[in-house]
A and B are shown apart, each in its own frame.
Chain A
Amino acid sequence: MGLIEKFFALLEPQHWGVHPDDHKRPAADAPLRSLPLPERLYIPLQQHIGAAARPIVLVGQSVLKGQLLAEAQGATSAAIHASTSGTVAAIGDVTAPHPSGLPFAAITLAADGDDRWADTGTAVDPFALPPPEVARRVAAAGVVGLGGATFPSALKLGLGLKAEIHTLIINGGECEPYLSCDDRLMRDFATETVDGIRIMLHATGAKQALVGIEDNKPEAIAAMTAAAQGYSEIAIRPVPARYPMGSEKHLFSELTGTEVPADGRTTDLGALVHNVGTAWAVHEALRNNRPLVERIVTVNGGAVARPGNIRVPVGALVEDVLAFVGLREEPARLVMGGPMMGSLLPHRRVPVVKGSSGILALTAVEAAGFDPGPCIRCSSCVRACPVGLLPLEMSARIANGDLDGAVAFGLKDCIACGCCSFVCPSRIPLVHYFNHAKGELAAQGRAQLRNEAAKRLVAARAERLERDAREKAEVAARRKAERAAAKAAEAARSAAASSEATT
């Protein structure tokens, strides 16, 4: 940090982020429950970043719990397993848990009610396995990042081996209000989670693991500290409760005191960030040979009668989950994930996926929907932004259709955390503007790629046409020459014959 930088820091201390009401209790304190097995499960083929998995079962086939339904396809993808035993009823489109309400492919499973596990082989000591083998098993179990990004975990572990990781950062921040699934996991499965962390340390070759937990979860901190006793390589680090502490880069900065360079990753600095839920899933995959077929989901919000954390099989409908906890009133908004970054659900008949950390049934008061007013340039958003952007300038430009102007103001560094919209006194949907602009820019990028591809095709065609013409001409010329030669030979022969005849 240069002298000028220090001077600026003095003038303008970085008070990034916001302190929303966390609404975590009483849901966080309610004991973990399990969702009764629904009759049908709708298991999407794409529950991760990357390409959709390829189904390897047929309609009508009966499957067992944990059986592979669809295999990873391409470099970035993840396997999908059956969440219960039953029959494959259909393979087709269901509505995605996504604000667009668009469909995506899923395997519909009619449960037989036995919930019988497939024989997944015997467990071996993961520490006896070579690290790549651990990563392979994690991949085979279909484990993805459970913090919400759903990046295939095995890839990340492999990346760790390649990038010479020395520190594993375990994200137990859970900074989103309302959500407590990680809190519950750390309280109830601290030993398993710590074991998962140790396996991940082994798989990546990292020397130490830092577990960052927000200090508004004292029970989880206590449980994890107790579980980590005796493992000097694992340090439980309480961090101040402040949104978005759970952002990968911000948690990293909080724990290590350095910033991740823009356009870079934490792996560039020798650190790999994983969610606590992922650690638990890795433990399940390696110790119990169990693929990722269920997760803990926080069901919360003013409209929920009995909020709490629930073990939900992947593919269960939100409708089933809400029926289980009961609704106090008709929710004004149904959200999957946390209130700050979660996505609005088009309706209740969407499946729970691996990345679903929470289902929120918010009342009108909680959702706080007001018509936006004009920006008064109060710059609350500037101070709330954890990245140091100027949301008011970016949104004004996007509203005027000047996307490049917004990019010049750092749109691409925006992490869509929602702090700006949260504090805006004019209720301007800033994040909505940024989502729109990012999507539009991505579409433009795709169009650009298409244009370039088209150009290559045109060039190839021109070359082909030219070659065809040339070859045709060559063939024609050769034929002509052959014909001429044949004629000449014929003429010569006939001449010879005639001369013979004459002689």
Chain B
Amino acid sequence: MIAAILSLTLLGAVLGFGLGIAAKKFAVETDARVAEIAALMPGSNCGQCGFPGCAGAAAAIAEGSATVTVCPPGGKALAGALAAKLGISIDLSGVADAGPKIAAIAEEICIGCCRCVKECPTDAIVGAAKQIHAVMREACTGCGNCIDRCPTEAMKMEPVPVTLQHWVWPKPVVTEAEPSWA
């Protein structure tokens, strides 16, 4: 009995001591991935993901409480990059990428209140007081924050028109084969 207790204690102590040393030697700093993930995010803090800003989303993704497909402005590209970073595989074909959308202003309704200008996280809307505003297509991330700010509903989201340069071959539709003795 004594021998059993002693030997178990001894064993535990030896193993514990060894592991303690190993833990010191192989210590890993805290998750460095949050910063890396945050660097990938758009950084516009638009809040469409439901997390407080891009940093919050990055933390959530790193700890696994959010999926990599959480960011609508990032779209498939970001989801793919995040999945690669985290070393996980996802089926991107399922990601709802309804095509990028950007803000557009109905010029006949715009009253030039400048509210949207102040709201835009990327300074993509230009305009001065009492002047019709305009959206710079290249700068708009499609976060949609300006929509609610517009008092006259002149602001709306429109799909980016497909041009020859941006057209992508659709995935082949494979109808089930019907082989024949041809």
A451 touches B80 (CB 8 A): no
Question: Considering only CB atoms, which chain A residue lies closest to B178 in the complex?
Answer: A371
Q: Within the assembled complex, what's the spacing in Å between the Cα atoms of A460 and B120?
A: 12
Whether A457 touches B169, Cβ cut-off 8 Å, given contacts A371-B175, A444-B77, is no
Q: Within the assembled complex, what's the spacing in Å between the Cα atoms of A330 and B78?
A: 47
Interface mask (A70-112 → B, CB under 8 Å = 1, otherwise 0): 0000000000000000000000000010111011100000000
Interface mask (B143-166 → A, CB under 8 Å = 1, otherwise 0): 000000000000000000011101
Determine if B16 is an interface residue (Cβ-Cβ < 8 Å): no
Q: Within the assembled complex, what's the spacing in Å between the Cα atoms of A458 and B123?
A: 8
Whether A455 touches B167, Cβ cut-off 8 Å, given contacts A372-B174, A401-B91, A403-B80, is no
Question: Considering only CB atoms, which chain B residue lies closest to A430 in the complex?
Answer: B172
Chain A residue contacts of B45, Cβ below 8 A: 458
Chain A, interface size category, equals 35 or more
Chain B, interface size category, equals 35 or more
B174 touches A448 (CB 8 A): no
Q: From the candidates B73, B124, B175, name the one contacting A451 in the complex (CB within 8 A).
A: B73
B172 touches A461 (CB 8 A): no
A454 touches B162 (CB 8 A): no
Q: From the candidates A372, A436, A458, name the one contacting B170 in the complex (CB within 8 A).
A: A436
Chain A residue contacts of B81, Cβ below 8 A: 448
Chain A residue contacts of B138, Cβ below 8 A: 450, 453
Chain A residue contacts of B78, Cβ below 8 A: 447-448, 451
Q: Within the assembled complex, what's the spacing in Å between the Cα atoms of A461 and B139?
A: 12
Shortest beta-carbon distance, A459 to chain B, in Å? 7
Whether A448 touches B77, Cβ cut-off 8 Å, given contacts A436-B172, A459-B43, is yes
Q: Within the assembled complex, what's the spacing in Å between the Cα atoms of A402 and B124?
A: 34
Question: Considering only CB atoms, which chain A residue lies closest to B40 in the complex?
Answer: A451
B163 touches A102 (CB 8 A): yes
Chain B residue contacts of A455, Cβ below 8 A: 42-44
**B:113-128 near A, CB below 8 Å:** 121-124
A458 touches B77 (CB 8 A): no
Whether A457 touches B172, Cβ cut-off 8 Å, given contacts A100-B164, A371-B178, is no
Determine if B100 is an interface residue (Cβ-Cβ < 8 Å): yes
Chain A residue contacts of B121, Cβ below 8 A: 457-458, 461
Q: What number of A-B contacts does a CB cutoff of 8 Å give?
A: 114
Determine if A399 is an interface residue (Cβ-Cβ < 8 Å): yes
Determine if B84 is an interface residue (Cβ-Cβ < 8 Å): yes
Chain B residue contacts of A429, Cβ below 8 A: 172
Shortest beta-carbon distance, A390 to chain B, in Å? 18
Determine if A443 is an interface residue (Cβ-Cβ < 8 Å): yes
Determine if B112 is an interface residue (Cβ-Cβ < 8 Å): no
Chain B residue contacts of A443, Cβ below 8 A: 77, 166, 168
Chain A residue contacts of B168, Cβ below 8 A: 436, 439-440, 442-443
B166 touches A401 (CB 8 A): no
Chain A residue contacts of B123, Cβ below 8 A: 457, 460-461, 464
Determine if A374 is an interface residue (Cβ-Cβ < 8 Å): yes
A373 touches B93 (CB 8 A): no
Interface mask (A92-134 → B, CB under 8 Å = 1, otherwise 0): 0000101110111000000000000000000000000000000
A458 touches B84 (CB 8 A): no
Determine if B24 is an interface residue (Cβ-Cβ < 8 Å): no
**A:368-418 near B, CB below 8 Å:** 370-374, 398-404
Determine if A480 is an interface residue (Cβ-Cβ < 8 Å): no
Whether A458 touches B93, Cβ cut-off 8 Å, given contacts A439-B169, A451-B42, is no
A96 touches B164 (CB 8 A): yes
Shortest beta-carbon distance, B152 to chain A, in Å? 24
Determine if A16 is an interface residue (Cβ-Cβ < 8 Å): no
Q: From the candidates A96, A433, A440, A454, name the one contacting B139 in the complex (CB within 8 A).
A: A454
Residue from the set B121, B123, B172, B178 with the largest chain A CB neighbour count within 10 Å: B172
Determine if B76 is an interface residue (Cβ-Cβ < 8 Å): yes
Determine if B69 is an interface residue (Cβ-Cβ < 8 Å): no
Chain A residue contacts of B75, Cβ below 8 A: 444, 447
Question: Considering only CB atoms, which chain B residue lies closest to A405 in the complex?
Answer: B89
Whether A444 touches B167, Cβ cut-off 8 Å, given contacts A401-B93, A453-B139, A455-B42, is no
Q: From the candidates A99, A399, A401, A458, name the one contacting B174 in the complex (CB within 8 A).
A: A399
Chain A residue contacts of B169, Cβ below 8 A: 99, 432, 435-436, 438-439
Shortest beta-carbon distance, A432 to chain B, in Å? 5
B172 touches A450 (CB 8 A): no
A447 touches B76 (CB 8 A): yes
Question: Considering only CB atoms, which chain B residue lies closest to A101 in the complex?
Answer: B167
Q: Within the assembled complex, what's the spacing in Å between the Cα atoms of A404 and B162?
A: 24
Whether A461 touches B122, Cβ cut-off 8 Å, given contacts A104-B164, A401-B92, is yes
Would you mind naming 23 contact pairs between A and B with Cβ atoms under 8 Å apart?
A: A98-B167, A99-B169, A102-B163, A371-B176, A372-B174, A374-B177, A401-B93, A432-B172, A433-B171, A436-B172, A440-B76, A440-B168, A443-B168, A444-B75, A444-B77, A447-B74, A447-B78, A448-B77, A448-B78, A453-B139, A454-B43, A455-B43, A457-B121
Query: Footprint of A on B, CB under 8 Å?
Result: 42-45, 73-78, 80-81, 84, 89, 91-94, 100, 121-124, 138-139, 141, 162-164, 166-172, 174-179, 182
Query: Footprint of B on A, CB under 8 Å?
Result: 46, 96, 98-100, 102-104, 370-374, 398-404, 426, 429, 432-433, 435-436, 438-440, 442-448, 450-451, 453-455, 457-461, 464
Q: Which 4 residue pairs of A and B lie closest in terms of their CB atoms, listed nearest first? A: A373-B177, A439-B168, A401-B93, A444-B77
